[in-house]
Structure 1
Amino acid sequence: MRRITRLVGVFAVLTLGALTYASPASAHEERQTRELDGKGSVPVYRTDGPTILVCKTDKAAFDSKIAGYPAALKAENERLWQECQATGHRHVQEAVDAAKLPGTNIKILPGLYLEEPSLAEPNPACDATFKNAPKGKIYEEFAILTWDQQLACPHLTNLVAILGKKNLQIEGTGASREDVLIDAQYKKLNAVRADNSDGVYFKNLSVQRAEFNALYVMETDGFVIDNVMGRWNDEYAFLTFAVDHGLYTDCEGYGNGDSAIYPGAASNINKNNGHNVPRYAVEIKNCWGHHNTLGYSGTAGDSVWVHDSKFTDNTAGIATDSAFANHPGMPQNHAKFERNIIANNNVSYYKYIVDGTCKKPFKDRGYEQGVVCPAVGVPLGTGIINPGGNYNIWRDNWIYGNNYSGFVTSFVPGFVRNDNEFAQQFDTSHHNRYMGNRMGVSETGQAKPNGLNFWWDGQGVGSCWTPMKDTNIRTLPACGADELPSIGVHRYFGEPANTLKMLECSGYSSRGQNIPAGCDWYGEFGATGWFDRVEVRNATLGAIVLALAAIGLFFRRLRHSKAALAGLLIGLAGLVVGVFGTIEMGSVMHPIGLALYGLGFVLLGLALRKHGTRKLGTLTLIVAAFALLGAIDHGLIMIPYLSVSPALLRVITELIWVPWALGAIVVGHRVQKEIPA
């Protein structure tokens, strides 16, 4: 048993090390941020206070914009136009710079704002700052600037820079959010950046065509994104980072290479709490993310409450994770998703990686015509991905029509996020609740099944699922009436095949144009045949090796034993059935195959012991015992309080058994004796 324990440790180190090298670089690189003190509040929309106006000068274009407005709104915009021509500004940045008092309102009249002054070449000092600042691993052409450097050179990376302004409200005055458009034309990393600007409020406008992010709120305590649209950006429509007291409401994002909504590294206010929390750092409601790689993503998306929103027609609907390095608040924890529609996320954009479209200059890629360049590799056809989250609640959502799976949940070892202490390798995917979700049923009651409802790698402590239909692991722990698991599951390693799959699938690289061939996440560009899938291929090859070793043992040492022949045939049948169970995720064939394989190896082991190969026979019985435990674990009930799955123990013992069996085949008996039946 001590040898098995050592092998488990070796397996862990090798797996974690491999995952470290395979993990993608961070999709969001920034300066180190301070921890907010949480003394702020969610700002409230104002109708009074100091006001600054922004407008253009083309009266004909303005009149055309407002021609169809309701009478009162049209009259108000005409009045503001006259005032703006006399005292207002022509660029949003000019108005921001003119806002000296906290509580100032900036009203932007209908029009297109290209912010030409922000596009001027940097002065020599800022040019030197850019050249000497550290560069990102992803966007090597952009510098990672300190706060002081942002203040000194606000337009090195930003079209509109809102830096250190307090309680600033920026509002479009049009009839819809499309009437006020801030357009970065792919000439700046961020279209609008609000940094250390507590109380900022954005309302009724659209932001588009940035090389990274349309609207970016950073290190800010108190913000609102209200009825804002972000589209056609290389990464994000709305990115908020290291924030507290935030609200997204009635927003929309589409055509983004990562996601529409990204509340990453939200204030980690609940890190020491269980499921009952005093408040959430960020609330997202009535928003819609569609036709992106992801509708929502949130690395270290801590203490975020997402409700009554839609995430549809993306490659994948939602991801909240601990899978990238250098984000404060790791591991991700305490997000709650309620009453959302997460549906039909089956749109593949990987062809634009393969055909080179995403290697073109941003302006030539065709984002406005529907091109999206996936910044991260996610499983096509998935509703929710949660790699490495803790204490998350998924309740009363409608999750349907996602062709791969409703949920994909896995653990993320600490090495992946540059946490190297041993205990941090097993600190994710614990205490998550999946309760009352309408799986495969639309909000109108129509049956629209997912491929699977739940795919889980098998690692984690204290999580539970209700309902539990159409899952890759058939024996998920149910949530009881007290919303706690009905049985205690304490798995610190995932199922070997599932861990191998996650390792293979993590090899995606957008800039390297690499799509893992053995992963079935990537549609026609990944594994398409069943044998192309890494888990099926390895299960098949493993079954062949085991079968050949068993056959060799039988003919070399046991060919006159009827019990051994029965064991061989039953074991071979189990290996074949098990492979088909791997092909068909969640199939009853998997536990049946394990049961047959285990029974067959019991007979083989007993025969080996009876006929003089006692130690190998004992090892064969140990393999059989773990196979039978696996059949129970996957077919009847997940065995409680077991820190590793029987599958991992079985694989480790098989790795010992195969060379031992081959040695027994090669050596054989010097004098072959007749073995009575």
Structure 2
Amino acid sequence: MKAYTRLLGIVAVAAIAILGPTGTASAHEERPTRELDGTGSVPTYRTTGPTLLVCKTDPADFAARVAGYPAELKAANEQLWTQCQKDGYRHIQQAVDAAHLPGTNIKILPGVYLEEPSIAPASPECAAMENGAVRGRIYGYPVLTWDQQLACPHLANLVAILGKKNLQLEGTGAKPEDVLVDAQYKKLNAIRADNADGVYFRNMSAQRAQFNAFYIMETDGFVVDRTMGRWNDEYAFLTFAVDHGLYTDCEGYGNGDSAFYPGAASNINKDRGHDVPRYAVEIQRCHGHHNTLGYSGTAGDSVWVHDSVFTENTAGIATDSAFPDHPGMPQNHSKFENNVIANNNTDYYRHIVDGTCKKPFAERGYEQGVVCPAVGLPVGAGVVNPGGNYNIWRGNHIYGNRYSGFVTSFVPGFVRNDTEFAQQFDTSHHNRYLDNVMGVSEQGEAKPNGLNFWWDGQGVGSCWTDMSATNIRTVPACGDDDLPAIGSHRYFGEPAGTLKMYACAGYDGGRQHLPSDCDWYGEYAASGLARIEVKWAFGGAVVLGLLAIGLYYRRLRDSKRALLGLLLAVGGLTVGVFGTVEMGSVLHPIGLALYSVGFALLGLALRTTRARKLGTTTLIVAAFALLGAIDHGLIMIPWLPVSPALLRVLTEVAWIPWALGAVLVPGRTTATTPTAEPAQEPATA
């Protein structure tokens, strides 16, 4: 049995080896990071301590910026302005460099901060490093070691906070955009905090970076509070290899990947079930809108996202295990609850196709609403979760997403460069979908999703409390205790789902390529017979139907049972194709049931001819088709490690050449019947 299971696994891995990443969250090169020891804490906002001021020098500009403030806030800023002109700094980086005491507060007065010294030509030593051999590059910028980052902090960063502890940066304006750090697409990152335990950003904004507005890395303890990031080629907020983090009341829009990316968060719960003592990163009351994704997180482990809003993106949320070299794979133990994930139908792929995203960054028109998708996603998806484990989705309002509320799929380990056999099947398990309000707004208005759930059928221990409008009609239910009543038990996905993910993974923004047979990509989406899964269903139906007709005419023409079987089989195949066109349609299991009965009758008829073994194989195909009808129409059959659909397809692959040979090689056209003995003449006297 063990050898058989291993053989099945090898066959399955070979079948999905062509998939590669499913295009859900952009991978990026970075130096290897250390594992944090978790001894830090989430910093708290301070009103006391050593304080440094940053301001500009144009009094007319400052007066215009604070003119509309409430009287008390205006007076406080005017007082800070006077003090700052005497002993303050003109650039944020100058104040960061001068903050020698842990616990220093940097107050930044209203204004636009271009950080001109940071964009000056690099020193000869840094220029040599920039152009020399390095371990990798991002947009042409070198991936630096920690020592190289310290030596050349502004090769890629406008503001670099490196090795500073408990530093607090706060804008003094009325709203976050009153203090604006503008990278002007001249740097990879607008603000980078690296090994900066206790860093706290409050009431400020950053924009127009080639990669990230705010980048926090290898840091135990951080807060982004009332902050905003916009118009960046990839992320508004990227945190990587962090612990004890908090995003609160923040906003991100106009970003090519996502507003919020807590990727490779500290993997503190990797060996636990659902009894999680704490989360590494918390996101609350944030708003991600008009991005490719509102939220994304490769290896977004132990992240708690609640009471936030993700709307008007291409897709609302993605958390995944689909890219290599991120610590903490596979993704696990995140919780999303009480969020609004709605109306994520914005199609930005036209900017890829028409060449807008091939222009220099500053000429693309981000400020006018252009977004250049870094990843391939279903336009109109609420949540995309390829390859996550032990995630909880509870009490979210998910509505108005034209493709699907959820898209969940398997990611084999080799995609992330994990090559051990067991790692090929270590996702997507033990996910729970609990009491989400699907297709209904917070005000109780009906705003349906295209589907509520699209699932490739793979995973163990997952369950749903809402099972309506799914592509697989029989998803396993959760009980009243939020535990799986039976749960899922599949290590391999449905063949059609696997095929679909393979086709849709072909997005390549750099080559301006959108897969032509995938239904994800907005106005360029395939429909009807052009969809990959429909093509294969139709092609398979034609081949099977023609062979069934050929078998009938060459070997079974005198069998009424075979004629009935032929009619039922062809009818079932036709109905099944229409069921594939309409995802989640009851026509799919009905078509399988008709096909099953038809093939059973054909198989029984064949067993009365010289093609007895072919008849037996036909009966096996019929049995797997019947199991598939039950699996998709009545109840997902528990304890099966593979879908009946996979078993049926594998058996059909063996049946097709055998049936073709039986059609081409002459055989008896009627059933075999015993030869009657001649009647004896009456005896004579």
1:456 maps to what in 2? 455
Q: Which residue of 2 aligns with 1:663?
A: 661
**Partner SS state of residue 294, structure 2:** strand
Kept in 1: contact 2:541–2:577 (CA 8 A): yes
Question: Aligned partners of 2:561 and 2:592: how far apart in 1?
Answer: 19
Letter of the aligned partner of 1:99 in structure 2? Answer: A
Q: Deviations over 1:561-600 (max 9, x none)?
A: 0000000100111000110110111111000000000000
User: Structure 2: how far apart are the matches of 1:232 and 1:443?
Assistant: 29
Paired residue for 2:598, among 600, 609, 612? 600
State the shift of 1:656 in Å: 0.2
Contact 1:188–1:211 under 8 Å retained in 2:
yes
SS of 1:394's equivalent in the other structure is: strand
Q: Does 1:125 pair with 2:125? A: yes
Q: Distance in 2 between matches of 1:131 and 1:566?
A: 74
Structure 1 Cα separation of the partners of residues 78 and 7 of structure 2: 76
Alpha carbons 1:414, 1:427 under 8 Å: kept:
yes
Report the CA distance between 1:235 and its aligned residue.
0.1
Superposed counterparts of 1:412-431, under 5 Å: 412-431=411-430
For residue 261 of structure 1, what is the aligned residue in structure 2? 260
1:10 shift after superposition: 5.2
Moved more, 219-228 or 25-34: 25-34
| Partners of 1:667 and 1:441 in 2: CA distance | 60
Superposition pairs of residues 81-100 of structure 1, within 5 angstroms: 81-100=81-100
Deviations 1:81-113 (A, max 9, x none): 111011000000000000000000000000010
**1:481: how far off?**
1.2
| Mapping 1:235-250, distance limit 5 Å | 235-250=234-249
CA contact (8 A) 1:382 1:406 kept: yes
Deviation of 1:14 (Å): 2.3
Distance 2:437 2:341 in 1: 10
The residue type paired with residue 368 of structure 1 is E
**Partner Cα separation in structure 2 for residue 498 and residue 375 of structure 1:** 23
Residue aligning to 2:679: none
Check whether the contact 1:135–1:141 (CA below 8 A) recurs between aligned residues.
no
1:530 aligns with 2:528: yes
Q: Distance in 2 between matches of 1:21 and 1:446?
A: 37
Alpha-carbon distance in 2 for matches of 1:285, 1:515: 34
**Secondary structure of residue in 1 paired with 2:577:** helix
Distance in 2 (CA, whole Å) between partners of 1:521 and 1:102 is 49
* Post-superposition offset of 1:674: 7.1
- Partner residue, 1:440: 439
Instruction: Go from structure 1 to structure 2 and tell me whether the alpha carbon gap of 1:386 and 1:552 turns closer, same or farther (over 3 Å shift).
Output: same
- C-alpha contact 2:22 2:322 (8 A) present in aligned 1: no
The 3-state SS of whatever aligns with 1:328 is coil
Q: Give the superposition deviation at 1:510.
A: 1.1
| Whole-angstrom distance in 2 between the partners of 1:509 and 1:590 | 32
- Secondary structure of residue in 2 paired with 1:654: helix
Larger radius of gyration: 2
Corresponding residue number in structure 1 for 2:649: 651
Taking the aligned partners of 1:379 and 1:281, their CA distance within structure 2 comes to: 29
Aligned AA (2:307): D
Q: Match of 1:154, SS? A: coil
Moved more, 318-327 or 127-136: 127-136
Residues 259-316 of structure 1 deviation map (CA, whole Å, 9 limit, x = unaligned):
0000000000000111110000000000000000000000000000000000000000
Equivalent-residue separation in structure 2 for 1:6 and 1:477 (angstroms):
26
- Counterpart AA for 2:606: L
Structure 1 residue 482: deviation in Å? 1.8
Q: Which 5+ residue runs of structure 2 have no aligned equivalent?
A: 675-685
Deviations 1:220-269 (A, max 9, x none): 00000000000000000000000000000000000000000000000000
Note if contact 2:452-2:468 (Cα within 8 Å) is conserved in structure 1: yes
User: Paired residue for 1:32?
Assistant: 32
Aligned twin of 1:234 = 233
Any idea what SS the aligned residue of 1:18 has? coil
Counterpart of 1:610 in structure 2 is: 608
Alignment of 1:122-271 (within 5 A): 122-134=122-134, 136=136, 139-271=138-270
- Amino acid of the structure 2 residue aligned with 1:651: V
Identical counterparts, % of pairs: 73
Q: 1:616 to 1:2 in 2, by over 3 A?
A: farther
The aligned residue for residue 477 of structure 2 is 478
Within 5 Å, which residues of 2 pair with 1:462-501?
462-501=461-500
1:104 aligns to 2:104 (yes or no): yes
Q: Deviations over 1:379-399 (max 9, x none)?
A: 000100000000000000000
| Matched residue, 1:12 | 12
Alignment TM-score, normalising by the size of structure 1:
0.97
Question: Within 2, Cα distance between the matches of 1:24 and 1:318?
Answer: 10
| CA RMSD, Structure 1 to Structure 2 (Å) | 1.7
Give unmatched runs, 5+ long, in structure 1.
Answer: none
CA 1:5 to 1:74, structure 2 compared with 1: closer, same or farther past 3 Å? Answer: closer
Change (3 A) 1:6 1:279: closer
Q: Distance in 2 between matches of 1:22 and 1:79?
A: 54
**Which of the numbers 572, 575, 585 marks the counterpart of 2:573?**
575
Evaluate the alpha carbon distance shift between residue 543 and residue 537 of structure 1 in structure 2; reply closer, same or farther with a 3 A threshold: same
* CA displacement at 1:358 relative to structure 2: 0.3
- Corresponding residue of 1:396: 395
CA distance in 1, matches of 2:13, 2:145: 36
TM-score, L = length of structure 2: 0.96
What letter corresponds to residue 523 of structure 1 in structure 2? G
Aligned partner of 1:180: which letter?
V
Whether the aligned pair in 1 keeps the contact of 2:335 and 2:392 (CA below 8 Å) is yes
Q: Which amino acid aligns with 1:592?
A: I
Runs of 4+ in 1 over 6 A off after TM superposition: 1-7, 21-25, 674-677
- Give secondary structure in 1 for the equivalent of 2:378: coil
* Structure 1 position 488, deviation (Å): 3.8
Which residue identity lines up with residue 78 of structure 1 in the other structure? E
Instruction: Quickly say closer, same or farther: Cα 1:672–1:169, change in 2 above 3 A.
Output: closer
Q: For 2:134 and 2:608, locate their aligned partners in 1 and report how far apart those are by CA, in whole Å.
A: 69
Q: Matched residue of 1:229: which SS?
A: strand
How far did 1:513 drift? 1.1
Partner residue, 1:559: 557
Secondary structure of the structure 1 residue equivalent to 2:564: helix
Partner of 1:59: 59
- Give matches, 1:277-288, under 5 Å: 277-288=276-287
In structure 1, what is the equivalent of residue 587 of structure 2? 589
Distance 1:639 1:331 in 2: 27
Q: Verify the 8 A CA contact 1:286 1:307 in the aligned structure 2.
A: yes
Check conservation: 1:322, 1:387, Cα contact below 8 A: yes
1:8–1:652 Cα contact (<8 Å) kept: no
Question: What letter matches 1:491 in structure 2?
Answer: R
Measured in 2, the distance between the counterparts of 1:392 and 1:622 equals 38
> How far apart, in 1, do the equivalents of 2:167 and 2:306 lie?
26
Closer, same or farther in 2 for the Cα pair 1:287/1:3, shift >3 Å? closer
CA–CA separation in structure 2 for the residues paired with 1:675 and 1:565: 17
- Mapped partners of 1:245, 1:128: distance in 2: 37
> d(CA) in 2 for partners of 1:330 and 1:66?
48
Q: Select 1:550's aligned residue among 541, 544, 548.
A: 548
Is the contact made by 2:558 and 2:670 (CA closer than 8 Å) also made in structure 1?
A: no
Residue 638 (structure 1) aligned with residue 613 (structure 2): no
Residue in 1 that maps onto 2:312: 313
By how many angstroms is 1:496 displaced?
Answer: 0.1
Deviation at 1:133, TM superposition (A): 4.0
Displacement of 1:11: 3.6
- Secondary structure at the counterpart of residue 62 of structure 1: helix
Aligned in 2, Cα 1:25/1:325: closer, same or farther, shift over 3 Å? farther
CA distance in 1, matches of 2:475, 2:347: 30
Greater shift in the superposed pair: 219-228 or 23-32: 23-32
Q: Deviations over 1:470-505 (max 9, x none)?
A: 000000001101211111421000000000000111
- Rate the CA distance shift 1:3–1:115 in 2: closer, same or farther, 3 A: closer
Post-superposition offset of 1:8: 3.8
Cα deviation, residue 6, structure 1? 8.3
| Code of the aligned partner of 1:55 | C
Report the Cα offset of residue 675 of structure 1: 6.4
Count of aligned positions = 674
Give the secondary-structure state (helix, strand or coil) at the position aligned to 1:20: coil
Distance 1:555 1:9 in 2: 39
Cα offset for 1:136?
A: 4.0
